[in-house]
Amino acid sequence: AIQMTQSPSSLSASVGDRITITCRASQGIRIDLGWYQQKPGQAPKVLIYGASSLQSGVPSRFSGSGSGTDFTLTISSLQPEDFATYYCLQDYSYPRTFGQGTKVEIK
User: Are 33 and 22 spatial neighbours (Cβ–Cβ below 8 Å)?
Assistant: no
Of the pair 36, 78, the CB lying nearest another protein is at 36
Phi (first) and psi of residue 42, to 5 degrees = -120, 160
CB 70 to another protein: min, Å: 17
Residues near another protein (CB under 8 A): 1, 31-32, 34, 36, 38, 42-46, 49-50, 53, 55, 87, 89, 91, 94-101
Dihedral angle sign, alpha carbons of residues 105, 82, 87, 29: negative
CB 43 to another protein: min, Å: 4
CB 100 to another protein: min, Å: 5
Q: With CA atoms as reference, report the closest residue to 75 among 50, 102, 44, 100.
A: 102
